[in-house]
Amino acid sequence: MIRPIDIANQLNISTSTLRNYETKGLVPIPARSSNGYRLYTEEHVTYFTCIQAMEPGFGMDATSEILRNIQCKEMDSALRIVNEVQANLHRDTLLAESNIQIFETEHLNILDSHEMIWMTIGEVAEETSLPRSTIRHWEKVGLILSSRDPQNDYRRYNRSQLHKIMLLRTLRPAVYSLDLIGLKQAIAEMDPYDVEHAKRIAHQSLKFLYKVKQEQLRGVHNLYKLCRLLNLMD
């Protein structure tokens, strides 16, 4: 039997975090000693280690769902979630690579006002495959800007804002982290007409997504060890 404080120290987290994982049903309910203390085992340690390893690459929501399925011995359901998250990251990585190609080849000169090409929110949504609600939210929190059509007062966006939206799109499903916050802030503040700056942001976004891929690999490795321990592997 292993004390909670020893597990917490090993994983560099608090004992309250361990209890929180238990309350959320992410680990099996431990036995109790005669005086009411939790009696964790090596199986619990493996569960806790798996959570810590998977969360940076898969996010807590997906990690929680995966581990609940593992406890129910629903291996196929757990792997389906793993594959979906990995597939989404691969899709976003391809989008990030496409953004780099755009910034490498497209000439982003500042246009005179009479040459400005405007797009409606519907046209931006169609070109980026994003819901309008997401575009409105990014504008609300200050990540992008729009102007108003003087004839009908509808939102309209120029190509510079479209490029920001395309960069943000690749990071939309990414796991929350300080790196992600910094990247989004850099996109909000960047001058999209500065080609070199835009290219640097695009490369940083791609580098971030590759880092998430590495985190996912570490998470899958620990999930594999948990499944082996539980004899869920053929």
- Output the pLDDT for position 153: 87
pLDDT tens track of the chain, all 234 residues? 888 999 999 999 999 999 999 999 999 999 888 888 888 999 999 999 999 999 999 999 999 999 999 999 999 999 999 999 999 999 999 989 988 888 777 654 444 444 567 899 999 999 888 999 999 999 999 999 898 988 888 899 988 888 889 889 988 877 778 888 899 999 888 876 777 788 888 899 999 999 999 999 999 999 999 999 999 987
Phi, psi of 167 (to 5 degrees): -70, -45
| Contact yes or no for 174/139 (Cβ under 8 A) | no
- Output the pLDDT for position 112: 40
- Output the pLDDT for position 219: 97
Could you give the dihedral angle defined by the CA atoms of residues 11, 17, 18 and 21, in that order, rounded to the nearest 10 degrees? Answer: -120
Beta-bridged to residue 120, according to DSSP, are 156
Which of 109-113's residues contact partners 24+ apart within 8 Å by CB, and which partners? 109/193, 110/193
The DSSP letter of residue 36 is S
Sequence-ordered list of residues with C-beta below 8 angstroms from that of 40, at least 6 positions apart, any chain: 1, 2, 3, 4, 7, 30
The DSSP letter of residue 147 is E
Could you give the dihedral angle defined by the CA atoms of residues 206, 207, 212 and 217, in that order, rounded to the nearest 10 degrees? Answer: 110
- Output the pLDDT for position 106: 65
3-class state of residue 81 by DSSP: helix
